[in-house]
A and B are shown apart, each in its own frame.
Chain A
């Protein structure tokens, strides 16, 4: 049974191109909407640098990998051939595992006719959570040198609580973003008025459209002219939620790690943006 007061609204903030302002928009919008902040950019989570919550809970992220029992293994190579991620190789009579490539799918265990494969777990990252200014904050951190962000993102978003959550996504449009979007009920695409920004925005729009969720665009570093992003929004009939003007003052506050929402000019800007967001992505 669905409890009405626990209604969940997960808003994903993504961009395609990196460095357009996903974290700037998600942290400040979280404050304006009094929403929870979730940093899914687990390879470089930087939202906590601005919000500075006190971390009171940490949990490990574990992934599975195969252990080959040499007593039972006959080096038949069935597991090597079954692995779709090339994490296994046979050298002479030995099966070698490249654990960082392993997705823990279990195919090698199924393919083994000699019961030589079992699974163990290893840590690839962690989840941190805490509170600041009455909002819940959490983030995933992928260990340095680990290539797979998805298990960390999955564990982070699986435990999401009710209410309004702002999900600060990784850049790009690869597995990490696709997995974050699985939990989203709406999306905000942050971009900048450059050819590169538009190019990657189009890719991000393509991904978001697969989910049939409401979405809109925010232009950061806006030149306040009729630029290529505004034309794109008109042509594609995509809602422009708001703009953040290109200004030295914004950059100065950001570079000091300060919260833009504490500055009256930016507070008005993000309050306005939060109204637009509520309008397009209606809830309650």
Chain B
């Protein structure tokens, strides 16, 4: 299983970033191989549609689970349609995020949070 976490940095001692579309990095943890891949989120500097750009990257990486703070309406639609499960977590270190996920302590994101986009103004 491939788990993507929106994060502020590249290591497991960095914090989860609760913003999905505008986070700095996505850390991708492969539970089978134990490999970790870090990708820069192109959405962080997008003029508009950051959530869509971030989702496109997640979809391209064949992710099964995304852990973040909230998903905006556009990102939520894309993630849901791609059959990717989304879980909510507060801003804690990535190692603790994974621990919580493994223990089944994270709540699934069932609906989108508020829209922040300016729509490419």
Q: Decide yes or no whether B14 CB sits under 8 A from chain A.
A: no
Contact bitstring B95-121, A, C-beta under 8 A = 1, else 0: 000000000000000000000011111
Minimum CB–CB distance for B3 against chain A, Å: 19
B20-45: which residues lie under 8 A (CB-CB) from chain A? Answer: 43
Contact B52–A91 (Cβ < 8 Å): no
B59 close to A91 (CB less than 8 A): yes
Q: Are B120 and A103 in contact (CB under 8 A)?
A: yes
Q: Does A268 contact B (CB under 8 A)?
A: no
Whether B78 is near chain A, meaning CB under 8 Å from some CB there, is yes
Number of contacting residues on A, CB 8 A?
A: 21
Number of A-B pairs whose CB atoms are under 8 Å? 58
Contact B49 A87 (CB under 8 A): yes
Nearest to B49 among chain A residues (CB) is A86
A90 near B46: Cβ-Cβ < 8 Å: no
Distance in angstroms from B64 CB to nearest chain A CB is 14
Q: Are A89 and B55 in contact (CB under 8 A)?
A: yes
| Beta-carbon contact of B81 and A86 below 8 Å | no
Residues of A within 8 A of B78 (CB): 89, 91, 96
| Contact of B47 with A85 in the complex, beta carbons under 8 Å | yes
User: In the complex, what's the smallest C-beta–C-beta distance from B4 to chain A, in angstroms?
Assistant: 16
Question: Nearest-CB distance from A125 to chain B (Å)?
Answer: 14
Min CB–CB distance B23 → chain A (angstroms)? 16
Is there a chain B Cβ closer than 8 Å to A98's Cβ?
A: yes
Q: B residues within 8 A CB of A149?
A: 121
Give the residues from 69 to 94 in chain B that come closer than 8 angstroms, CB to CB, to chain A. 74, 77-78, 81-82
Find chain A residues with CB under 8 A from B117 CB. Answer: 101, 147
* Interface contact B81-A91, CB-CB below 8 Å: yes
Q: 1/0 contact trace for A66-92 toward B, CB 8 Å?
A: 000000000000001000011101111
Instruction: Find out whether the CB atom of B121 lies under 8 angstroms from the CB atom of A148.
Output: yes
* B12 CB–A CB distance under 8 Å: no
Q: Are the CB atoms of B77 and A147 closer together than 8 Å?
A: no
Cβ of A202 within 8 Å of any chain B Cβ, yes or no, is: no
Contact with A along B47-75 (1 / 0, CB 8 A): 11110110110010000000000000010
Least CB distance, B62 to chain A, in whole angstroms: 12
Bound complex: CA of A84 vs CA of B74, how far in Å?
A: 16
Contact, CB under 8 Å: A98 / B56: no
Does A113 interact with chain B (Cβ within 8 Å)?
Answer: no
**How many angstroms from the CA of A273 to the CA of B53 in the assembled complex?**
50
Tell me whether A90 and B47 are in contact (CB under 8 A): no
In the complex, are the beta carbons of B49 and A101 less than 8 A apart? yes
Q: Which residues of B contact A176 (CB under 8 A)?
A: 121
B121 to A: closest C-beta gap in Å: 6
A 155-197 contacts with B by CB, 8 A:
174-176
Are B48 and A85 in contact (CB-based, < 8 A)? yes
Indicate if the CB atoms of B49 and A92 lie closer than 8 Å: no
What A residues does B46 contact at CB under 8 A? 86
Interface: A199 (CB within 8 A):
no
Which residue of A92, A96, A100, A175 is within 8 Å of B77 (Cβ)?
A96
Q: A86-B120, A92-B81, A92-B82 are in contact. List 15 more A-B contacts (CB 8 A).
A: A85-B49, A86-B48, A86-B53, A86-B56, A87-B49, A89-B59, A90-B59, A101-B52, A101-B119, A101-B120, A146-B119, A148-B121, A174-B121, A175-B121, A176-B121
A-B contact pairs, 18 of them (CB 8 A): A85-B48, A85-B120, A86-B46, A86-B48, A86-B50, A86-B52, A90-B56, A91-B78, A91-B82, A96-B81, A101-B117, A101-B119, A147-B117, A147-B119, A148-B120, A174-B121, A175-B121, A176-B121
Q: Which 9 A-B pairs have the closest CB atoms?
A: A147-B119, A86-B49, A86-B52, A91-B81, A86-B53, A101-B49, A85-B120, A91-B82, A89-B52
